[in-house]
């Protein structure tokens, strides 16, 4: 005898719920009251309460037990059927009309397999998910499809055709495009487990969806076809999938055609080189020259992936012309997408193609009117340097890449980055030119890339060509440049090592301690203090500390209080090594004590702070 909803028990104790009873719940223990409250909240007027309860369905289900979850909770969550004349089943009204609640419900239902009694009873969860899979909001439908795919993976074999296939058929022929759209996402999940006879039926049903009158359904079919390619047999690829792909690729809606680009990649990865050239190359040519810019954009954004899937031989023979056309496309979005693919495609073709076909396009893109195209180029173009910046191609490098980097460094659009991470020696003149540019922000940009250049050039070449330039920045009129120059010296120390810095950099910095310009003397303090973090404590003792201590006698107060700040930074470094720790008391502390009684209040403040915090 079925349970009366008004007698709803939780672990043999009555727990009322507004859907099942009208009376208020009795005062039971806290755990049961909490479950009763959650049940009440399922129909609460406030969506926040309903959402909270839906997210705790597992708690409600565990309290009710598997049988009552199957027979009462799940049917309640399923909602009510709306009856119409002359039709037995038309539409099911969901438990809720709020998308957030339905989204959470779709997700939670997929997690209730154990709560309804395990895989043998998982089919009880199909009806409510079927209802949700037909709602208007796409994100809700997608979540329902995900949960349905999860359930179909655990359903017993005999339940597939008994419960899931009928559901799939109902969704596939539903009156509303929403249900048919959801149906397309379910075919791969069941196809993997279906018998040969069922697979044949599934292919027929899917073909009908791919030819649906609604563009939304055809779009969904095109998306689903990508995953279906890897599941069907080689024969079915040729007999079923490719005809579907070819028809979708010629659809009158560009929103459908653009989704076939990913299908093209999947198919090319399945077919032989001969089949790919015969069956897929015409489709590629058509899509890459499509009248809809969004289709061309999709091809451009997937160009390297397409070329890889077709194979290098086919790509070299048939892909370059289309790629050049996209780099010169009338739509900025297409040019932007194509620009991001340049380095990857360049690896697949001969250097002659790069120099004769790609670099002229690069030259145009450098000054492209579309700022996003310039940004995409700048982000990825550094990958060309190691490809064309070697061997005997210096002239071409100087002709194309040098203007490129010059333009990017001076681009007014902030999202255009500077891409010279692996620039060749052929660009050194440009580096020198930009490092002396009258605009300090350009000089700053160059400084930030010097450590990257150092890694490529090596210490010997760097000392000969760029070290003098790096030292000159310490005397720049702009403070931000001088500050960046000190950080640059520390990074160079990290690149080439402390021993290199001891012989190449520190002696040059020391020369500035007697400079007449107090700003240059102060920069010396900044440089030595910053570099100290990349040196050993012994080097700090021998090369840094004596100079900093001596500069505490400088007549300029700004110099003296920066000495105090420098000593505050050096103390932790000296304490790291037993052989230098005694210097804190023997050298640093006396200097700070003297500065703490300085006539200048700022000097006193920083010296006292250093003493209190470290000594």
pLDDT digits (tens, 9 = 90+) for 491-550: 998 889 989 988 898 988 888 888 889 899 999 999 999 988 888 888 888 888 999 999
Q: Mean pLDDT throughout 237-251?
A: 95
Q: Where are the alpha helices (DSSP H) in 211-311?
A: 215-229, 234-236, 242-249, 254-257, 260-270, 273-275, 281-288, 293-301, 303-310
Rounded CA-CA distance 461/454 in Å is 9
Q: Does residue 140 come out as left (phi exceeding 0), alpha (psi in the -120 to 50 range) or beta?
A: alpha
- As given in the structure block, the two tokens for residue 163 are 């419960």
- As given in the structure block, the two tokens for residue 78 are 């399923």
* DSSP code for 338: H
Question: Residue 366 is inside which H or E element, if any?
Answer: helix 359-366
Which pLDDT score is estimated for 368? 80
Q: What are the contacts of 549-557 at 24+ separation with CB within 8 A?
A: 549/587, 549/588, 549/591, 550/513, 551/513, 551/521, 551/524, 551/525, 552/591, 552/594, 552/595, 554/518, 554/521, 556/518, 556/521, 556/522, 557/598, 557/600, 557/602, 557/603
pLDDT > 80? residue 18 = no
Average pLDDT, whole number, for the chain?
A: 82
CB neighbour list of residue 28: distance below 8 Å, 6 or more residues apart: 13, 15, 36
pLDDT > 70? residue 27 = no
pLDDT > 80? residue 434 = no
Whole-number percent of the chain with pLDDT over 90: 42
CB neighbour list of residue 602: distance below 8 Å, 6 or more residues apart: 557, 561
* DSSP code for 81: E
pLDDT digits (tens, 9 = 90+) for 31-69: 455 667 777 777 778 888 888 888 888 888 888 899 999
Residue-level length of the chain? 615
Which pLDDT score is estimated for 83? 43
Which pLDDT score is estimated for 382? 59
Tokens 């890459």 -> residue = 288
Which pLDDT score is estimated for 408? 55
Range among 25-29, 49-53, 294-298, 340-344 with highest mean pLDDT value: 294-298
pLDDT > 90? residue 436 = no
Which pLDDT score is estimated for 577? 85
* 388, 354 contact by CB (below 8 A): yes
Higher pLDDT, 79 or 13: 79
């Amino acid at each position: 005898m079925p349970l009366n909803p008004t007698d709803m028990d939780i672990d043999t104790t009555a727990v009322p719920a507004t859907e099942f009873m009208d009376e208020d719940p009795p005062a039971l223990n806290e755990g049961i009251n909490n479950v009763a409250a959650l049940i009440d909240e399922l129909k609460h007027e406030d969506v926040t309460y309903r959402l909270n309860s839906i997210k705790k369905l597992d708690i409600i289900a565990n309290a009710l037990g598997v049988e009552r979850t199957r027979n009462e909770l799940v049917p309640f969550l399923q909602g009510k059927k709306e009856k119409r004349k002359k039709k037995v089943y038309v539409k099911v009204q969901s438990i809720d009309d709020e998308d957030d609640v339905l989204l959470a419900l779709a997700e939670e239902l997929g997690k209730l397999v154990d709560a309804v009694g395990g895989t043998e009873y998982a089919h009880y969860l199909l009806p409510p998910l079927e209802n949700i899979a037909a709602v208007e909001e796409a994100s809700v439908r997608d979540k329902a499809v995900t949960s349905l795919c999860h359930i179909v993976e655990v359903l017993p074999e005999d339940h597939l055709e008994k419960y899931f296939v009928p559901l799939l058929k109902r969704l596939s022929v539903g009156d509303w495009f929403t249900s048919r759209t959801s149906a397309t996402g379910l075919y791969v999940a069941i196809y993997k487990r279906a018998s040969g006879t069922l697979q044949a039926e599934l292919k027929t049903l899917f073909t009908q969806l791919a030819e649906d009158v609604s563009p939304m359904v055809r779009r969904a079919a095109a998306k689903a076809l990508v995953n279906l390619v890897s599941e069907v047999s080689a024969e079915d690829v040729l007999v079923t999938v490719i005809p579907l792909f070819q028809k979708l690729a010629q659809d009158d809606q560009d929103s459908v055609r653009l989704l076939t680009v990913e299908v093209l990649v999947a198919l090319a990865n399945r077919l032989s080189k001969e089949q790919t050239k015969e069956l897929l190359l015409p489709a590629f040519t058509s899509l890459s020259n499509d009248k809809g810019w969004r289709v061309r954009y999709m091809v451009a954004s997937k160009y390297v992936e397409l070329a890889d899937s077709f194979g290098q031989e086919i790509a070299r023979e048939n892909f370059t012309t289309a790629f050049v056309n996209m780099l010169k496309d009338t739509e900025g979005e297409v040019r932007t997408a194509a620009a991001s693919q340049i380095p990857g495609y360049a690896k697949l073709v001969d250097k002659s193609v790069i120099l004769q076909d790609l670099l002229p396009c690069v030259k145009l893109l450098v000054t492209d009117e579309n700022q996003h195209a310039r940004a995409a180029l700048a982000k990825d173009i550094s990958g060309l340097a190691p490809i064309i910046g070697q061997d005997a191609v210096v002239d071409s490098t100087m002709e194309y890449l040098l203007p490129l980097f010059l333009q990017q460094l001076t681009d007014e659009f902030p999202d255009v980055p500077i891409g010279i991470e692996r620039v060749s020696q052929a660009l050194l003149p440009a580096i020198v030119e930009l490092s002396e540019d009258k605009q300090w922000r350009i000089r700053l940009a160059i400084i930030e890339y010097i450590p990257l250049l150092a890694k490529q050039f090596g210490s010997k070449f760097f000392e000969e060509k760029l070290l003098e330039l790096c030292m000159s920045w310490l005397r720049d009129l702009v403070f931000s440049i001088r500050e960046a120059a000190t950080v640059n010296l520390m990074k160079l120390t990290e690149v080439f090592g402390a021993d290199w810095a001891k012989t190449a950099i520190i002696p040059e910095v020391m020369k500035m301690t007697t400079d007449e310009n107090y700003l240059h003397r102060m920069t010396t303090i900044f440089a030595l203090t910053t570099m100290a973090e990349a040196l050993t404590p012994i080097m700090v003792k021998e090369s840094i500390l004596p100079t900093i201590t001596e500069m505490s006698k400088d007549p300029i107060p700004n110099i003296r209080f920066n000495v105090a700040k420098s000593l505050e930074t050096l103390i932790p470094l000296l304490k790291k090594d037993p052989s230098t720790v005694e210097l804190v008391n023997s050298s640093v502390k006396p200097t700070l004590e003297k500065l703490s009684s300085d006539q200048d209040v700022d000097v006193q403040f920083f010296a006292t702070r250093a003493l209190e915090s470290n000594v």
